[in-house]
């Protein structure tokens, strides 16, 4: 994060988390609270010695600061499309960037490892043999989060988590969803849909890959094309975890509501940084991708 962005965030959250000095001691400044919080999100570590602030104090104000960040950023930077024109812009991005028309986003869930709350038993125990909550996200063609839902226990499948989201109701009722439109090079109308994997139910607004291994050539090509569009949500999760490495650790907070504040704040910051510089969040080219580009252009790889 650049200094300009830091000061912008500081000004936005100051009215919410600013505290008053007392006769006994001065309060921790907004800038210091934000600095410690961002460092925690970026590393996943609480370092009281570096800032000369107690561990208990840090554990108290980090969720408060994250909640403030989410409150001030969500309406501008983490707002789900609510008009037909906005959804059509999302679909245009998938068609131009990933050659997949009539697509309103890529949907998937990510497990966030946590310390289980007291007396929770196996409620948060997932199939990966760890305790977690689920981050459900809808992503556009440029790795930007359109919709996020966090806090559901990790024992529930992605399809079950989606069943409790407000996004499902909007899709079921076709609220502000564009009317079916013809596919490129065809007069046949096709509904706008969301690409997902096998964990989600087959609905009119869901597009899933063909199952099984014995597939025809056309079915394999379709699965490949769908995978190109769907992988943006996996890439978005990868970029999110690479920037906010708290997701690579077990969040040592037993209050799941506070963990939810941390997760939502990271998603809002992800979109905030994307708005400031879209190229900053692009996944770097792998060695294989560089080699393919060089071979396709006829250049010599070095």
Q: Give 195-213 pLDDT, tens digit per residue.
A: 999 889 888 899 999 988 8
Residue 73 CB neighbours (<10 A): 23
On whether the pTM is more than 0.75, the answer is: yes
Alpha carbons 231 and 61: distance in angstroms, whole number:
35
What's the pLDDT at 301? 40
Residue 103's CB is within 10 A of a number of other CB atoms, namely 24
Question: Residue 288's pLDDT is what?
Answer: 47
Domain total in the chain: 2
Whether residue 21 sits in one domain with residue 166: no
For residue 128, is it within any domain? yes
Q: Both 55 and 190 in a single domain?
A: no
Q: Report if residue 282 sits inside a domain.
A: no
Whether 265 maps to a domain, the answer reads no
Indicate whether 224 belongs to any domain: yes
Q: Are residues 98 and 247 in the same domain?
A: yes
What tens digit of pLDDT does each residue of 140-195 get?
Answer: 999 999 999 998 999 998 988 998 888 898 888 888 899 999 988 888 899 999 99
Do 167 and 106 belong together in one domain?
Answer: yes
**Within a domain: 295:** no
**Residue 103 and residue 250 in one domain:** yes
Closest residue by Cα to residue 77 from 265, 281, 283, 282 = 265
Angle at 87 between CA 85 and CA 92, to 5 degrees: 90
Residues 136, 98 within the same domain: yes
Of the three residues 257, 274, 291, the one that is the final residue of a domain is: 257
Give DSSP secondary structure letters for the chain: --HHHHHHHHHHHHHHH-----SS-PPPPHHHHHHHHHHHHHHS---HHHHT--HHHHHHHHHHHHHHHHHHHHHHHS----SHHHHHHHHHHHHHHHS--SEEEEEEEEEEEBPPPTT-TTTTB-TTSSBEEEEEEEE-TTS-EEEEEEEEETTS-HHHHHHTSHHHHHHHTTTTPPPPEEPTT---EE--EEE--TTS---TTEE----SS---HHHHHHHHHHHHHHHHHHHHHHHHHHHSGGGGS-B----HHHHHHHHHHHHHHHHHHHHH-GGGGSPPPPHHHHHHHHHHHTPPP-
Residue 72, CA distances (Å) to 9, 90, 136, 273 in order: 9, 24, 21, 14
pLDDT tens-place string over residues 60-108? 899 999 999 999 999 999 999 989 999 999 999 999 999 999 999 999 9
215 and 99 fall within a common domain: yes
Does pLDDT of 122 surpass 80? Answer: yes
Q: Do 149 and 206 fall within a single domain?
A: yes
pLDDT reported for residue 214: 87
- Domain of residue 55: give its range: 3-75
Mean pLDDT of 27-36: 88
Looking at every residue in the chain, the average pLDDT score rounds to 87
67, 202: one domain: no
Model confidence at 119, in pLDDT bands (50, 70, 90)?
Answer: confident
Give, to the nearest 10 degrees, the angle between helix 55-77 and helix 30-43.
90
Closest CA to 4 of 266, 279, 272: 272
Torsion angle (degrees, nearest 10) of CA 114, 116, 117, 119: 170
Residue with tokens 């699965």: 223
- From 21, 46, 75, the end of a domain falls on 75
Is residue 121 located within the same domain as residue 19?
Answer: no
Say yes or no: 229 and 216 in one domain. yes
Chain-centroid distance, C-alpha 47:
26
Q: Do both 16 and 130 map to the same domain?
A: no
Q: Is the predicted pLDDT of residue 272 greater than 80, yes or no?
A: yes
């Amino acid at each position: 994060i650049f200094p300009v962005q830091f000061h912008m965030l500081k000004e936005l959250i100051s009215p919410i988390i600013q505290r008053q000095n007392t006769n006994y001691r001065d309060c921790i400044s907004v800038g210091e609270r934000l600095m410690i919080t961002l460092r925690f999100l970026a590393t996943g570590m609480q370092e009281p010695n570096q800032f000369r602030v107690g561990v208990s104090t840090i554990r108290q104000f980090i969720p408060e600061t994250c909640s403030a960040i989410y409150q001030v950023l969500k309406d501008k930077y983490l707002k789900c499309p609510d008009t037909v024109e906005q959804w059509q812009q999302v679909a245009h991005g998938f068609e131009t960037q990933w050659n997949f028309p009539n697509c309103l986003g890529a949907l998937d869930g990510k497990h966030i490892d946590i310390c289980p709350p007291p007396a929770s038993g196996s409620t948060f125990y997932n199939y990966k043999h760890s305790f977690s909550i689920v981050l459900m996200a809808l992503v556009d063609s440029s790795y930007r989060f359109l919709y996020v839902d966090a806090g559901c226990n990790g024992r529930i499948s992605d399809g079950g988590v989606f069943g409790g989201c407000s996004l499902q109701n909007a899709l079921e009722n076709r609220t502000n969803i564009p009317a079916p439109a013809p596919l490129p090079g065809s007069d046949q109308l096709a509904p706008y849909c969301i690409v997902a994997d096998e964990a989600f139910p087959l609905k009119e607004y869901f597009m899933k890959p063909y199952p099984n291994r014995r597939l025809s050539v056309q079915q394999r090509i379709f699965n490949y094309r769908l995978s190109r569009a769907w992988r943006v949500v996996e890439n978005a999760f990868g970029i999110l975890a690479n920037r906010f490495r708290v997701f690579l650790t077990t969040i040592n907070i037993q209050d799941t509501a506070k963990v939810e504040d941390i997760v939502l704040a990271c998603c809002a910051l992800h979109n905030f940084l994307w708005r400031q510089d879209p190229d900053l969040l692009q996944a770097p080219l792998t060695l294989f991708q560089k080699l393919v580009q060089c071979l396709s252009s006829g250049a010599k790889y070095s």
